[in-house]
Copies of this chain bind each other. A is one copy, B any other.
Amino acid sequence: MLLSDGDLMEGVSAEAASLAGHLKLGKLICLYDDNHITLSAATSMSFTEDCAMRFAAYGWHTQMLENGNDLAAIDRALHAAQAETERPSLLLVRTHIGYGSPHKQDTYEAHGSPLGHEEVILTKQALGWPVDPPFYVPDQALAHFRRAEEQGKRAEAEWDKRFSAYAQAFPVLAKEFQQRMMGELPHDWDRHIPMFQADPKGLATRVASGKVLNAIVHTLPSLLGGSADLDPSTHTALAGMGDFQVPHHEADNLQGSTGGGWSYAGRNIHFGVREHAMGSIANGLAVHGGIIPFTATFLIFSDYMRPAIRLAALMELRVIFVFTHDSIALGEDGPTHQPIEQLASLRVIPNLLVIRPCDANETAVAWRVGIESRDRPVALILTRQDVPTLDRTNLAAADGVRRGGYVLTDIPDGNVPDIILMATGSEVSLIVAVGRQLAQHQIKVRIVSLPSWELFETQPRSYRDSVLPPSVGARLAVEAGATQGWRKYVGNDGDVIGVDHFGASAPGKVLMRQYGFTVDDVYACAMKLINLKGQAWIDTRLSQQQETMGKK
């Protein structure tokens, strides 16, 4: 791996290098292109730390090379790095940017801009190269790269031969290896995923998620991941599946061990408090193949790993990012820990699939979708607090998550609803309760669960219009987060109950009440939208209602 000054200055390299040293990743070899020049300046303007000492502090093996053009010395150093199997290796190689250019060598002008026609000629002359042709490849270099091609072919043939022998000796394992590298799932990988019984008290979706994870881990050997020092909070520990650590005796007794022993076969990665590196490492695992990596932290800390999430989306990687503690309802940790804009900020990343399930059974489906999704990362947004496990005998099945949004409950006669209430996550049970109250007042109400905008958008228009009929203007969306983006679903005549300001330090229930996430508040807002339909409409409804009351 090649590193620049910029890479070493960015915090993510410090996080990753510290963990690599801790894990004694002896196969990792990095070459630092130490040219003393950044994009805009000499490194002496901003970067004067002792890199060799810093990496030694991380537990790395380091070698200084004074001349980046001394290929034999670099070759020797690479061999020494390969021989070192207990520590990652850093080769600090002194180079010269724009090497050979009479006017641009060792200047930042050579960083971002081409040398230019004239300077290219001067450089070639200085290096004793022919000026023509303009794109000149020395025979020696060509022969060297051609040899590499041959070497690659031989290595591949050798690998194929060894794999064939392996497949003959261990046909089941070989097939599993191939399937995993192809990204295919085992036949019935999801057979242990539980059905959660209806329960008004319910459980937090982070807890449901933990149960699902620990159900699939046994049938899905590709699954590997962990949290940024939050296992007890994110419920993402894979119990008894071993810690990804340097093999060690008595390690299970260590605080934080997930059980099952320390080894490189352990399936729990302890990333430490390093969100950015966590996301980047998960991306690397996904690129490697054979692994379905997951990460976990609080939703607020998605901000710390945003560049990694974006790269996963851009590179179409299969990574599952678990984010718990997903709203102001997390309570006393206060505004620094309460996500407001994070959900909207994740939804706006192209190709990232965001799912905020409303109860335990939607959480199970969200995990299915996440594992099945091959060419895009998935962010699962989960509650800290308990949410009711909805009684699906009266409501649509949680499998509706697959379509992103679905009608959870509707007016019985199939008429056009007076109003549509929609929500995600912890606010769905709230609108279900409001819907019950509205129905008592003869309002025809439809309740929509909308756990994933991205999945909903991929549905045909006919389906989307069947869930949110264009003829119904009275629409109310409820979500404990920023309202940005909801207008596309509620339209000109609808409204959104959200949180467009920072939170506060108080128990979660107090905050939810304070910010309007109560049956009374949502009911009042729904009635306001309905009242916009005009007095005639209300009079009709009221007379209908009085008739019904009279009958009782």
Decide yes or no whether A518 CB sits under 8 A from chain B: no
In the complex, whether A434 has a CB less than 8 A from a CB of chain B is no
Q: Is A157 an interface residue (CB 8 A)?
A: no
Given A40-B230, A41-B256, A11–B276 Cβ distance below 8 Å? yes
Which of B19, B45, B53 contacts A254 (CB under 8 A)?
B45
CB distance from A256 to the nearest CB of B (A): 2
CB distance from A79 to the nearest CB of B (A): 26
Are A227 and B348 in contact, CB atoms less than 8 angstroms apart?
no
A9 at the interface (CB under 8 A from B): yes
Please, which residues of chain B bring their CB within 8 A of the CB of A58?
Answer: 49-50, 54
Residue of B nearest to A11 (CB): B11
Question: In the complex, A336→B485 CA distance in Å?
Answer: 24
**Chain B residue nearest in CB terms to A262:** B45
- Known A303-B307, A484-B485; judge A42-B254 contact (CB<8 A): yes
Interface size class of A (residues with CB under 8 A): 35 or more
Interface string of A44-83 (1 = CB under 8 A from B): 1111111111101111000000000000000000000000
Chain B residue nearest to A336 in the complex (CB): B314
A247: interface (CB < 8 Å): no
**A40 in contact with B256 (CB, 8 Å):** yes
A274: which of B11, B42, B233 is its contact (CB, 8 Å)?
B11
Q: A348 to B345, Cβ gap below 8 A? A: yes
- Bound Cα distance from A172 to B259, whole angstroms: 69
- Chain A 1-32, CB-CB to B under 8 Å as 1, else 0, gives 00001100111111100110110000000000
- Within 8 Å CB of A482, what residues of B? 348, 350
Known A-B contacts: A42-B255, A487-B487. Give 11 more (CB < 8 A): A40-B229, A46-B270, A49-B59, A304-B307, A314-B335, A345-B345, A350-B501, A351-B501, A484-B484, A487-B488, A492-B492
Binding site for B on A (CB under 8 A): 5-6, 9-15, 18-19, 21-22, 37-42, 44-54, 56-59, 107-108, 112, 227, 229-233, 243, 245, 254-257, 270-277, 303-304, 306-307, 310-311, 313-314, 335-336, 340-341, 344-345, 347-351, 482, 484-485, 487-488, 491-492, 500-502
